[in-house]
Amino acid sequence: MDIERFNADWLQAWTDKDVDRLVSFYSADTVYKDPQVPHGVEGREALKAYLQTLFSSTPPMTYLPELVWAIQGGFCGRWYCDIGEGGKEGKIRGFDLVLIENSLIKHNEVYVHPLSETANA
């Protein structure tokens, strides 16, 4: 598996807010965690419902992959995100722990923090 390509395509689906395409990266029994759902969402259908709500309540977000590290069973990826057009509503840097099974995401944990305009990326 080309994890850099997988990561880039996956982050593009996040940018596009394409729920159907995005959930196609996840296994039927996936576990997904982010700051809004720290205890997790279990299963592709629950993830789909969560993403539909999330995307309808957030501004455009552009995800740009930075680094990807292969780990046993998957990868870790760091990315930057501009919130709003051109980052007018803020910028964040994030990190995903992604465990893969049968070429699909079995487990995904997302960690993020805001970047101030004066901070060095």
Distance CA 53, CA 64 (A): 22
- Is residue 116 very low, low, confident or very high in pLDDT (cuts 50, 70, 90)? confident
- In the chain, the domains with their CATH numbers are 3-114 (3.10.450.50)
Q: Tell if the pTM clears 0.85, that is, is over it.
A: yes
Residue 116 · residue 93 · CB < 8 Å:
no
pLDDT at residue 93 is higher than 50: yes
CA angle, residues 106, 115, 3, in degrees to nearest 5: 30
Structure tokens at 80: 């930057």
Report the pLDDT averaged over residues 3-22: 97
CA angle, residues 79, 56, 30, in degrees to nearest 5: 60
Q: What is the overall mean pLDDT for the chain?
A: 94
pLDDT tens by residue, 46-79? 999 999 999 999 999 999 999 999 999 999 999 9
